[in-house]
């Protein structure tokens, strides 16, 4: 067991798995309820990823590089 803030990134939802820490990455097969939960979450994250990357890229377009020096200094 770990405290919740160690197990979940802020702003993300939790999924509950019926296992101990050593079983977090072990599944009995593709019908395993834990596997189905993890798989569904990974699929959701993958679908959302492209829009998140695009939002980050769009935000970078608004960044302006400001010179610390006046051109006449050189």
Between CA 19 and CA 6 the distance in angstroms is 17
Query: What's the pLDDT band for 71 if we cut at 50, 70, 90?
Result: low
Q: What is the mean pLDDT of residues 2-9?
A: 72
**Domain limits of the chain?**
29-63
pLDDT digits (tens, 9 = 90+) for 14-57: 888 888 888 888 999 999 999 999 999 899 888 888 887 887 77
Q: How many CB atoms lie within 10 A of CB 9?
A: 8
pTM over 0.75: no
Q: CB of 34 within 8 A of CB of 15?
A: no
Half-sphere exposure of 63 (CA within 13 A, CB side): 6
- Helix locations, the chain, DSSP H: 4-7, 33-60
């Amino acid at each position: 067991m770990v405290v919740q803030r160690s197990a979940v990134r802020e702003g993300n939802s939790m999924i509950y798995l019926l296992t101990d820490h050593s079983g977090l990455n072990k599944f009995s097969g593709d019908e395993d309820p834990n596997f189905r939960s993890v798989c569904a979450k990974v699929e959701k994250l993958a679908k959302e990823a492209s829009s998140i990357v695009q939002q980050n890229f769009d935000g970078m377009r608004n960044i302006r590089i400001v010179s610390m020096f006046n051109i006449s200094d050189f």
